[in-house]
Each structure stands twice: as structure tokens, then as C-alpha cells.
A and B are shown apart, each in its own frame.
Chain A
């Protein structure tokens, strides 16, 4: 009797442990451990510019503007800058400003390291580091601008479209192709999305799915484009500006808050991004369909979380959340830690 009781307890214990074991579809634990990468103590890296092998980045731990050269980091400017972008000769960074007040803006000349304060009358909301684009708030209106040798040039204006309490986001595919996505004017739950010409984007069906979520990634190629909603949905625009839902990235979680732009890069007609499991997906911009990438650079990077990408021809630099910088060689389909 006593023996039977012990067997029953042992069986119950095993069943309980089996039930609370939860690795149904995840990758192997030992496999992941064998692929683990040392953390780099600079925090999350937002890449801004590559120049002659040197990388310029905004880092969350070591100081705002950093230069990564020859395997080591150095601080360029430790002011509490908030926004960064770059043109061919300068890196620009702006400090945070009070509502509707102009930001303090500085330029860093890459060639000689000269720091210069730029006269500015604009309230800058955000910058797109890799495409030299700036989103400016002007009363109830929003303007997209770009730096042109120490001055801000106008590109497009969006007047009265958005809820001014929560500013929209500027998401770019290039210096000329971008969208603005944000809460609609007068609404706290419905989003509107405009292209670079100020034209509103719409859908023929799935209205709620399109309007209930902000767009957080955008890639354009040959007049066609794809948008990624914060719920992982891929929307395809064949050029008509009436979008179609094609498919949904699995295991996808947006960055909090959910309207923040999501890290991705565009190469050779495809948009590449990671999901929450760090799996890479490539979206064919010409048709809006995606496929999961299981090998090559995607396998090499399956153990790090990307925070930003910087494309330089066949090289793609990856700024990670905790593991420093990686370089993808798209020709050889491989990635290495820098």
C-alpha cells in the first residue's frame, strides 16, 4: 500500500512537471545557449552613418553620439541629444525641447570633427537617422523636412490631419519615399496614414484592421510598397494607394509604445525584419508576400535582437539591443560580429 502511494505521488509529480514544462514550439535551450553572444555594454544601438569603415551611432548607455572604430567605442558628444540624422557631410543631433519650442540643434562634421550649433526655429519631433528626414510640428500641422548643409529644407506638409496630443510617426523607405502614420484628428483610437505626397492611404476591406493600428514599417520599390501594422499585418500597395492585406507576420510584437517605428531594412526589392522570436522574414515588396528565412545571415543573427539597420551597398550593419554591432554580407548571405 505504501509502495503504491509513493508510485502515485511520483507519477503525479512527473505529470505536473511535464505540464508546466513549456517549450512546445520554441528553439532548443542548449542550442540557444551554444549560440549565445556576449552582451556589449553600450545598450541599444541606433546606427546613424557609416563613413570609411567607422560607424556613428546613438547608444542608450555610453552616451548619445558614439563612434565605433577599430573595435572600440568613443564618445563624440555626451549632451542629452534626443534625435539624430545625417547628410553626406554632417551628423545632426537635436536636444529635446518643450512643446512648440525650437530644439537646440548641433552638427558634427564627419571629416574634421567640428561641432557647430545650428540656428533653429523648429520644434523637431523625430528624425529618421538613415534617410536624413525630419518631422517638425508647427501648431496643429506637421512638416517633413531634410537637412541640406546645415539648413532644413521643406519636403511635405500635413495640415490638420492628426491628433496633436499624440504626434504621428515618420517612417521612411528612402529620402523621397515615406509615410506619416498617427492618430486621426479628433480621435483617440483611429489611425490615418499618409504618403509622401500628402495622399491618404485606404483599404477596400478590413477597414478596422487598417485603422485600429499604427503603421510602423514601410518599404517602397518600383512604385509598389508594403506597410507593416503594429499587429504584424502586411499591407500591400500596388501603387493605387488602396491597400490590400496580404498576410500577417507570426509571433510579432511591436515596440512599446506600439506606434514607434520598427527596425527593418530594404535590400534588392525586399523588406527584412525580425519577429519577437528573432526570426527573420523577407517581404517581397512587389507582391506583399513574405517568407521566413531559416539559413544564412538570418541563422547567424537568430540570437540577437536588432534595434536598427544601416544599408551600405551589399553590406548591412545591424545595431542590436544588447550585443553590439553585426555586419551582414548580403552577397555571401552571412553575418559577423564587429
Chain B
């Protein structure tokens, strides 16, 4: 009888303690956001020209700093994202990027893109990882002042610190890919180029959860 009571006591203890262990595991995977939470972000920083890839030219790749003849520029953007679940936020971003080439001619790009951000670590410190896809309207002040609309793909990783519950600063780096594609009938189709720029930005975010 005493032995039977001891077994019951042990089982009861396990049942009581088990939820405590389970609760500890949830703390590691802390969730700051839920579906419906949102973030509004202002970004500003530098844009480092990284490489131009010209598949029809030799050499096909010219890289920063010497071969690109393009200087470090700047960029800024505004971004709004809503959470589709606790870890994924989907939204849009509108930006402005500029850089000068060695001839002091100005290249500007106005990217507008859909942005998906995954935040595996959440709370006071966060690690947001983003991908974006969209378009960019690009202009150049040299020559005949040409402009062109292009596709745009971006990737970005950052580290955030929320100094208040709703306000945070993020330092991030990424890669913006802007393809300038000319079809075979274009007289300069062989100058089709994939332009790559590395944005390094500081951003301030307001989150509503």
C-alpha cells in the first residue's frame, strides 16, 4: 500500500513538473509578434557598388573598387510590413539610391519591392533576415541621360536592438541586384549587365505587436 502511494506521488510530481520544463522551452523560442503585428521602418546608409556582371564581355565581372569606376553612394527607404505569423513579416519598401561614377555622372535608382522578413530571434535583440523582389526605375545623368525600368532582387541581414518596447535600431547589410537587360535586337545587347550594390544601413523601426 505504501509502495503504491509512492508510485502515485512520483507520477503526480512528473505531471506537475513537466509543464514547467515545457514553459522553459517556450522562453527560448520567445515570440514577440503574432499574426497582425506590424513594423514601420526608415532606413538610411551607404551603397557600395560591388560588381558588374556582363556575360557577353571580357572580363565578364568587374569588381569594386578599381574596375567598376563607380563610387560609394547612399540610399534611403521606407518599409512597412505586417506579420503573417509569429516569425514572417510581409510588406513593401520604397527607396532611393544614388551613386556617382568616376566621371561625376549621377546614377539614381528608385526601387519599389515586396519584402519578406524572417525573424528567428525576437525580443530586445532581433536578427531580421529579408528577401525582396520588385522593380527599380533607374536614371543616369551622363551621355543622353538614359533611364530604364528593371527588375530588382534584394537580400538583407541585420541585427536589431529595441531600446524601447516599440522602438528599435537595426544595423544591416545586404545585396541589391539590378539587371539591365537588352534583347538581341538592341544595338548594344552585349552590354546587358547585372549591377550589384551592397547597402549598409542603419534603420529605426516602430513595431506594433
Contact = CB atoms under 8 A, between A and B. Distances in A.
B105 A33 contact: yes
Interface stretch (A19-27, A79-87, A122-130): A19-27
A32 B148 CA distance: 14
Given A14-B135, A27-B191, A33 B101 contact: yes
A121 to B, nearest CB: 46
A37 B140 CA distance: 15
B174 interface: no
Question: For the side of the interface on B, what is the size category?
Answer: 20 to 34
B24 interface: no
A14 B113 CA distance: 12
B69 A36 contact: yes
Given A18-B149, A36-B102, A36-B105, A25 B137 contact: no
B70 A34 contact: yes
Q: Which of A24, A26, A303, A322: most chain B Cβ within 10 A?
A: A26
Q: Which of A18, A21, A30, A35 has the most CB of B within 10 A?
A: A30
B192 interface: yes
B107 A33 contact: yes
B69 A34 contact: yes
Given A28-B182, A31-B54, A39 B147 contact: no
B52 A22 contact: no
B103 interface: yes
Contacts of A28: 180, 182, 188, 191-193
Contacts of B204: none
B68 interface: yes
A244 interface: no
A22 B180 CA distance: 13
B114 to A, nearest CB: 10
B138 interface: yes
A32 B70 CA distance: 10
A38 interface: yes
B135 A277 contact: no
A18 B70 CA distance: 26
Given A28-B192, A30-B52, A34-B69, A20 B147 contact: yes
A76 B35 CA distance: 75
Interface string B191-205: 111010000000000
A303 B68 CA distance: 14
The CB with the most chain A CB atoms within 10 A, among B101, B138, B147, B188, is that of B101
Contacts of A21: 137, 147-149
Contacts of A23: 146-148
A28 B195 CA distance: 11
Nearest to B53: A30
Contacts of B195: 30
Nearest to B54: A31
A29 B54 contact: no
Contacts of A278: 143
Contacts of B102: 36-38
B193 A36 contact: no
A22 B195 CA distance: 18
A165 interface: no
11 contacts: A14-B135, A17-B135, A23-B147, A27-B143, A29-B180, A30-B195, A33-B140, A34-B62, A36-B70, A37-B69, A277-B143
